[in-house]
Amino acid sequence: MGNAVVKEVMTKKLITISPNESLTKASELMEKNHFRHLPVVDGDKLIGILSKTDLLRLGFNDTLGDLEMQIGSNLYDILTVGQVMVAHPMFIGENMSLADASKKMIEEQFHALPVVNDENQLSGIITTSDALNYYINN
């Protein structure tokens, strides 16, 4: 399987969102780009992460009927990303081994982790799909 490091496997084409954006915009970005996680940035600083699961929980979309879904959709327009995101998310360095990153995702039960470079700037995101694709193809 080699000694892959995170920067060789991570998703580098990042789509990020500001904490001031609406949840509707976040949801649209996720749907359009087929992402389940969005790093939240203030300028170039990582300040949070928003997941599709966060949105589903807020919107009641996974358990309730049409009326409740409408209420959830209205919340998307009222609340901002910053009010719902997980602040101060765990992140990893881009030179961490893929094996260690995979273990961390398993231990913490995360499906994605933001990745930072040596200057602590956001440089990518590693997902369970990224890791599985690497392991399947190598």
Separation between Cα atoms, residue 30 and residue 109, nearest integer Å: 21
The pLDDT-based confidence of 59 (bands split at 50, 70, 90) is low
Q: Give how many domains the chain has, as a whole number.
A: 1
Mean pLDDT of the residues in the chain: 87
Give domain status of residue 104, yes or no: yes
With a cut of 80, say whether residue 21 has pLDDT above it: yes
Look up the CATH number of the domain holding residue 133: 3.10.580.10
1 occurs within a structural domain: no
Strand pairing class (122-127; 86-87): unpaired
> Would you place residue 97 in the very low, low, confident or very high pLDDT band (cuts 50, 70, 90)?
very high
Structural domain that includes position 73? 6-137
Evaluate whether residue 55 is within a structural domain.
yes
Complete edge-to-edge strand list for the sheet that includes strand 112-116: 92-93, 112-116, 122-127
Task: Choose between 93 and 3: higher pLDDT.
Answer: 93
Q: Which residues pair with 73 in a beta bridge?
A: none
User: Does 18 map to a domain?
Assistant: yes
